[in-house]
Amino acid sequence: MVGDLPVVDAETATGHVADEATVLTSGFGSVGYPKAVPLALADADRDLALTVVSGGSTGAEVDVNLVEAGAIARRYPYQARPPAREAANDGSIAFSDRHISTLGDAVQFGGLVDPDVALVEAVAVGEDWLIPSMSVGQTPAFVDSVDSIVVEVNHAQPRALGQFHDIYRPDIPPNREPVPLSAPDERIGGPRIEFDPDALDAVVETDRRGDPYDFRDPTDADRAIADNLQQFLTAEVDASPLFEDSVRLQFGVGSLGNALMGALGEADFGNRDLIYYGEVIQDGLLDLLDDGHLDAASATSLALSADGQDRLFAAPERYAEDVVLRPGDISNRPALIDRFGVVAVNSALEVDVYGHVNSTHVDGSRMLNGVGGSGDFTRNGALSIVALPSMAGDEISRVVPMVPHVDHTEHDVDVIVTEHGVADLRGTSPRERSSLLVENCADPAVREELDAYLDSVEPVGGHEPHDLETAFSWRE
């Protein structure tokens, strides 16, 4: 629906964005983000210094075009494009990384930003409602937080995407009750995000698909990691009463996560249902749905490749039977991750011999993308697994004496998986963890050196013995 609404072109809509505005944008998993208005802002002859807050990663129109135009001064909470990454690292953009589950509250209740306008992509809009496109993310909270809304209605995406959405808004504390979701595939809301009709300032019609995810082909290491994970999970499912009726899993976004999802089709979980409860639906989950191996999937984004988008757009009704898209503060909600006993599987840049995990900062300094939702699931999952290749290239070990930046402490990580094996760290002391990690997960080429490091620091004593100078010399 666009009739009887304030329909304007993208250039006119930019008039609702002040030069130093704080802009809340839809988007998560590089889909569902606004396109025409960011491009018009990038092309505008204005001295812009915008603060941009998105639900998750967006596309090139935001994190390339606006960045290269010098239009962004501050960015929250995640970015995944080289220009935005470079600007975050050289300080030309003030970038702040944070967990996803509480982002909506932080925006809506103050303390993070003072928002001016919400810029949202939709497949349909009315005078007081909109239906999101490929992702939900933090859009419901963002829309609730502003007095000015600009909606891009994208005709390149089917209206049937509304069948995926289950929009539920929790109450404001202290009157917030438990989310009434008793199963991952249950629906407790509807397809629409509602708002005050006085807030709708502009509607822009577009016909432009977003940047699809570009998944690389699985490497030999990816396949070996998938095999090790599959064997571990099969044994765990058989042994634990946690999985009596079903197996609930989450995977981090990216090529490795996608490969691990796809490999689950070969896992033997008996007659148990296989259910996904996480952030993103990737191509690997579509494969599992097509093959009848996945019973249900709940997420906040359809982060698909071009082929995956084609498959979904050709038959959205078929996938909507089994797939639910929720707001990010529901998909990542700690209480629900705990309630459903989710097995969290996330990747990382590196791990150290005591089980600390660095997911975000190369050499402890250079930001990659952001912590995203990995902390929400790693901290609150019934079983927290970190899967990663043992080496970066041929010479750089991802198992190191000491990580220079910690996103997930050893308290929150249960299992490490590489192509060489599995280190089950549950119930272990630091010295026991170090032996397991080196023996089972490190590349054979560096095990002797890691063992030598551990032997050399033993006289230092302490709970986690270290020689900082030697530990960080691995960076050389």
Reported in sequence order, the residue ranges of 148-269 that DSSP labels E, i.e. its strands, are 149-154, 193-194, 200-206, 246-251
3-state helix, strand, coil in the chain (%, to 5): 35, 25, 45
CB-based burial of residue 187 (10 Å sphere; 0-12 exposed, 13-18 middle, 19+ buried)?
Answer: middle
- The beta strand positions in 353-457, using DSSP E, are 357-358, 361-362, 366-367, 383-387, 391-392, 396-397, 399-400, 415-418, 421-424
Q: How far apart are the C-alpha atoms of 443 and 397, rounded to whole Å?
A: 7
d(CA 108, CA 184): 26
**Cα 98 from chain centroid?**
11
Question: How many C-beta atoms surround the C-beta of residue 353 within 10 A?
Answer: 28
CB-based burial of residue 434 (10 Å sphere; 0-12 exposed, 13-18 middle, 19+ buried)?
buried
Report the 10 Å Cβ neighbour count for 268: 10
Q: Which one of the listed residues 61, 279, 410, 419 is annotated catalytic?
A: 279
Q: Is 86 labeled as catalytic in the residue annotation?
A: no
Q: Which amino acid is at 257?
A: G
Gyration radius from the chain CA atoms = 23
Tokens of residue 298, six digits: 């709940």
Neighbours of 162 (CB within 10 A): 21
Write out the catalytic residue numbers: 279
